[in-house]
Structure 1
């Protein structure tokens, strides 16, 4: 009887990590979707519309990007519009379909 109990306890200890690994965790998926890294940088606003903003930015070493002009998706509702050629500071994150702005403001420099 004692051996049977020892085998049962030992088996439970061995199987416990397997059961935990197979258990679905919706909170993990939510953290992945909403936990994308946020990048902060500066640039010059080139064009604006309710769906996307074109920005010329310097190299972003943390992402391995060279200097370029690219489109960033607008959040919904869109951010407050600024005129073209405004020096800006902005933050963005990667989302399905591209890179989405989080903040955008005229540069204080």
Structure 2
């Protein structure tokens, strides 16, 4: 008897959830025409550092920089490659001392701005 009551209660609960979910497509949206529906896309924050350009690879669109510590990311000083656009590389050469901003997304870091 307990098993039957449990089965009936579970079925009623599942059906009530299903009925509630079906209400959403019928939701009234009167007066919302023309309202901007903004989709937020969160970008990783921008971090800043200073360093020395060690190498530039125009084929891979990367610049390798030996940079100081980045406290915002709790990084020690290191040498690493950053993705960069061809325009950002303009006027830069190995050995140049630079200050730069970059965005870290996953295991990839991309230069946002770079200046001698």
Considering the TM-score relative to the shorter chain, is it more than 0.5?
yes
**TM-score when normalising by structure 1:** 0.63
The CA distance in 2 between the partners of 1:100 and 1:59, in whole Å, is 17
How far did residue 97 of structure 1 move?
A: 5.1
Specify which of 63, 66, 81 is matched with residue 73 of structure 2: 63
Q: Following TM superposition, where does structure 1 have runs of at least 4 consecutive aligned residues deviating by more than 2 angstroms? A: none
How far did residue 95 of structure 1 move?
A: 3.0
The CA distance in 1 between the partners of 2:107 and 2:47, in whole Å, is 17
Which structure has the larger Rg? 2
Specify which of 41, 45, 60 is matched with residue 37 of structure 1: 45
Specify which of 45, 50, 55 is matched with residue 47 of structure 1: 55
Task: Summarize the Cα distance change of 1:64–1:104 in structure 2 as closer, same or farther, 3 Å threshold.
Answer: same
The CA distance in 2 between the partners of 1:104 and 1:44, in whole Å, is 11
Which runs of no fewer than 5 residues in structure 2 stay unpaired? 1-19, 25-36
Specify which of 39, 56, 68 is matched with residue 27 of structure 1: 39
Q: What's the C-alpha RMSD, in Å, of the aligned pairs?
A: 2.3
Specify which of 94, 101, 104 is matched with residue 91 of structure 1: 101
Which runs of no fewer than 5 residues in structure 1 stay unpaired? 1-14, 20-24
Count the aligned residue pairs. Answer: 79
